[in-house]
Amino acid sequence: MRWPERVGSRELTVVGEDGVPFTLGPIDIVFPILHGRFGEDGTVQGMLELVDLPYVGSGVLASSLGMDKHFTKTVLQAAGIAVAPWVRFTAHEWATAPEEVLASLGSLGSPAFVKPARAGSSVGVSKVSTPDAFHAAIELALAEDSTVLVETGLVGREVECAVLESLPGEAPRVSVAGEVVVTGRDFYDFEAKYLDAPGIELVCPADLRPEQLSEMQDLARRAFEALGCAGLARVDFFLTADGFVVNEVNTMPGFTPISMFPSCWLASGLSYPELITELIEVARARS
């Protein structure tokens, strides 16, 4: 069997609000700054592969892995990177054997965090401190995805760093660290992220000792490579009494000029326009 030729053109046509298609002209490169399902989960990336358009950021597999907290943690753990202990179950298991599911959560301790496997923006995430609160938290998470994770609640600082792929043959670069300082809230929830609710401060650069920063940068690079990321990623950690634990890897992190990813690069000496240029050049070099 012969693999069909890819027949995409580099002209992108979109359908306007009035239903009439119009062309955006020939496209050199796509920067898919999209969040969530269909945006950063590998589907748009797969579509771009099919139409043969080069794009910034991770490909299909790393995008899907990064979107799914269970599979991210599985790959990171296999690479020897610490993650919070977790239990994963499906909507079907919860519907048919809720007592068994609840029994399996006992070893995680209290508080625990309940989350949808694939969501983001803290949507559907709850902190659970008493066993009778699991029910509502699991239902909330199941409203977002058919797979749920329950994790040991970690005590520590939330620190993150930004990874940038280098031109071929060079190791990815890692920025200085940023910190989400949680003061007046339970955790970094949706209201704090998007509704400007008080009790959270984003600090960059975070106050870390040089050896802590270099350990964190090394772990971020390893996480990036373990998931097979490309282009860029933000790697989020908890700095606990037992050291760094990776919480998640965002393959398309927030990208407004005040978001953590560009702020971490600015604090590392790379301006916003320079950062965008780098990302485009790296994607062009790859295509």
The CA distance from 33 to 31, in Å, is 6
- CA separation for the pair 78, 74 (Å, rounded): 6
Interface positions, 213-272, toward ligand ADP (CB under 6 A): 247-248
C-beta of 64 vs 247, nearer to ligand ADP: 247
Least gap, CB of 173 to ligand ADP (angstroms)? 23
From the CB of 129, what's the least distance to ligand ADP, in Å? 12
Of 138-157, which residues contact ligand ADP (CB under 6 A)?
151-154
- In the window 197-216, what residues touch ligand ADP (CB under 6 A)? none
Query: Which of 187/276 has CB closer to ligand ADP?
Result: 187
| Position 68 contacts ligand ADP (CB under 6 A) | no
**Residue 281 beta carbon to ligand ADP: minimum distance, rounded to whole angstroms:** 29
- Phi and psi, residue 279, nearest 5°: -60, -40
The answer to the question of residue 187 lying near ligand ADP (CB under 6 A) is yes
Size of the site for ligand ADP (CB under 6 A): 17
Kindly tell me which of 31 and 187 has the beta carbon lying closer to ligand ADP.
187
DSSP string, 126-145: EEE-SGGGHHHHHHHHHTT-
CB 34, min distance to ligand ADP, A: 15
Encode 12-77 in three state secondary structure. Answer: EEEECCCCCEEEEEECCCECCCCCCCCCCCCHHHHHHHHCCCCECCCCHHHHHHHHCHHHHHHHHH
Task: Kindly state the DSSP code that residue 254 receives in the 8-state scheme.
Answer: -
Which of 287, 285, 42 is closest to 166 using CA atoms? 285
Q: Which of residues 110-139 bind ligand ADP (CB under 6 A)?
A: 113, 115, 119-122, 125
- Confirm or reject binding of residue 158 to ligand ADP (CB under 6 A): yes
State the minimum distance, in angstroms, from the CB of residue 239 to ligand ADP. Answer: 12
Interface positions, 76-115, toward ligand ADP (CB under 6 A): 84, 113, 115
Closest CA to 261 of 225, 244, 236, 226: 236
Residue 35 and residue 256: Cα distance in Å, rounded?
13
Among 188, 224, 237, 255, binds ligand ADP (CB under 6 A): 188
71 binds ligand ADP (CB under 6 A): no
Strands (DSSP E) contained in the chain are 11-15, 21-26, 86-90, 112-116, 126-128, 147-152, 156-164, 173-182, 200-203, 232-240, 243-250
In the complex, the residues that contact ligand ADP under the rule CB under 6 A are 84, 113, 115, 119-122, 125, 151-154, 158, 187-188, 247-248
